[in-house]
Amino acid sequence: MSSDVLKLPNDKLEDGQVLRLYSMRMCPYAQRARLMLAAKNINYDLVNIDLNNKPDWFFDLNPYGEVPVLLHNGGCVYESLITAEYIEEAFPQPKFYSDDPLVRAREKIYFNHWTKKGIPAFYSLLKVGYPDPEQTKRLEEHVGIMDSFLKKLNTPYFHGDQVGFPDYMIWPWFERAPVLKDITEFNISPEKYPHLSAWINRMWKDPAVLKCMIDPQLMIDHYQFYRTGKPDFTLGAAKPAPVQELLENLDGLRDPTTRDRQK
């Protein structure tokens, strides 16, 4: 399913694939779409984009030049929440949103709060790179609000008794919480956040979460680059091996026609 070969929008899908998703391996926003596709067991073509080296045609798909971008039935969808909602509506089974409009609105409140308040606080502390009191307090406030949502709901998940749409929209940043702890000592402890900690433990047992999980070491490496302002979006990609070059003479000089050549 996954490919580091850059495919054009009109390139043919393989047999059984129903759509193409342009993503980036480490991107939590694109992971929202991947979680939904995994949860619905949809066979698709996953194409990873190097966000430092985006082709010109990618801006024709999304003028912001961001992932995810989903191509399906001749159409193009982008923006992470819009893309995830499209997947929910275009592939209605299994269902991850409530039929009750009031419940559905409440679920949107949960993941919208995290999107608008929690995520900026998460990245502000991550960029500081140490236990900054002000930024730590800011993130604690919004993690606490997420914990209070679950406490008031008194259910295992933000969706209710089963994992659902709001859970998948919130999850990617909590998968990254251990990296944040390593860098800034910010810890989501059961003592301080009992409901959210229990939710995290449950989410780690979800098949879609396990299918879409990112190698922890790759995540650590990615955020080390991210904090320098020079992220490497090709981490984890299959890269060509250098051509083995024969010594051309006793001085060890290489044939200049093969110098630095890649397969």
Catalytic positions are 27
> β-pairing, 69-72 with 2-3?
unpaired
| C-alpha count within 13 angstroms, C-beta hemisphere, residue 170 | 29
What's the 3-state SS for the chain? Answer: CEECCCCCCCCCCCCCCCCEEEECCCCHHHHHHHHHHHHCCCCCEEEECCCCCCCCCHHHHCCCCCCCEEEECCEEEECHHHHHHHHHHHCCCCCCCCCCHHHHHHHHHHHHHHHHHHHHHHHHHHHHCCCCHHHHHHHHHHHHHHHHHHHHHCCCECCECCCCHHHHHHHHHHHCHHHHHHHHCCCCCCCCCHHHHHHHHHHCCCHHHHHHCCCHHHHHHHHHHHHCCCCCCCCCCCCCCECCCCCCCCCCCCCCCCCCCEC
User: Which tokens in the block code for residue 103?
Assistant: 């419940």
Distance (Å, rounded) from C-alpha 241 to C-alpha 90? Answer: 41
